[in-house]
Amino acid sequence: MADMMEATRLTASGRLTDASALMQRSLNESLSEPHGFASHSVEAGLTDRLRDAMKSVTQGLERSVAPVLEGLGLQGLAPQARATDAPPAEPPVADGPSFTDGSFTGLHGTREYKLFVPGAHPGTRPLVVMLHGCSQSPGDFAAGTGMNTLAETHGFYVLYPGQTSRANGQRCWNWFQPGDQDRESGETGIIADMTRAVIAAHRINPRHVFIAGLSAGGAAAANVAHAYPDLFAAVGIHSGLAAGCARDVSAALTVMRLGPVAEADCVAPVTPLPTIVVHGESDGTVNPLNGEQALAQAGIAGLTPEIIEDVSQGGLPYIRTRYADAAGHVRAEGWMVRGLGHAWSGGTLAGSYTDPRGPDASRAMLNFFLANPLKG
């Protein structure tokens, strides 16, 4: 009976393998003792029946727990089961990289996603959350940015949440809706909860969790990062907008076309965080002034700017401005690419909204992220 109670506790905590092993072990021990049966055949028959009954019990427990895990959005993301109550050993290292589809359901809603897991690597690794632009998908965005290639080379995870056509007809993230901008609400809450689930299920370093996006995804990334400065160490905004700079569709169209005309147009974050902005000077969809506003939210006032002018391997001139604090640490970085429209700079033609001629925005963001871990 004590073993049965312990097995029930293990099952409730999601440790189904441990529960099943305990029940089987208890059964084997009990059957190894003499019971005074009339014949060995009777004992063997009873043993088989008991084993079948035990198997049915464990299968029933697994079926009862599975809906609970699914309802919490943890199905497929549950941590590895442990054989004992000793400190958990590091989970097995995967032999090769994987790029899989999944679905997450949390308190604020459901979204599909794709997750890139790098190949064999020791210890904990960084996580980059990537938010696609309008009309894009997680797979399309991954192909265009080439972020998975960098992730395999440098050993970090990449999470690509996907917007639904039901939530937005063009599959844009609703960065301009008040209910999708604030902490623990709407799409910001979904993305944050999905990120937490991935951190809990994989070997992620919680100080190296970053978020980036393109266009509407860039604006959403700004919202999420500023709503969760305790979760995301830095943010990358490509052809996007500052956090909270529109609270309805009309204002969104205005700032996209004209840019923020006053500081009051955007809801300033309470705590500035490390930010890298990449924008095309010829962007006709999102005014480049929005990139400047995003850098202002990073708290560049009082930081020392360093301006570097160069030409990419593809032939596009660009201005890179790095903003350092008194200790020389770069807290913000802006890339203005001449001749670049509304497209991911340095991306590949395998995805949409990319321009391979520009400097490599994915590598620039990764370098910036790794230099800015979460403090505390």
Question: Can you tell me the distance from the alpha carbon of 77 to that of 116, in angstroms, rounded to the nearest whole number?
Answer: 13
Look up residue 76 and give its two tokens: 């497929």
Among 312, 315, 309, 265, residue whose Cα is nearest residue 290: 265
Q: Do the Cβ atoms of 359 and 335 come closer than 8 Å? A: yes
The helix/strand/coil state of 43 is helix
Question: Can you tell me the distance from the alpha carbon of 163 to that of 145, in angstroms, rounded to the nearest whole number?
Answer: 17
Let me know if 215 is a catalytic residue: yes
Q: Which residue has the tokens 């004590």?
A: 2
Per-residue H/E/C for 28-43: HHHHCCCCCCCCHHHH
- Catalytic: which of 13, 20, 185, 215? 215
Q: Do the Cβ atoms of 115 and 76 come closer than 8 Å? A: no
Question: Can you tell me the distance from the alpha carbon of 179 to that of 167, in angstroms, rounded to the nearest whole number?
Answer: 12
Q: Mind telling me the catalytic residues?
A: 215
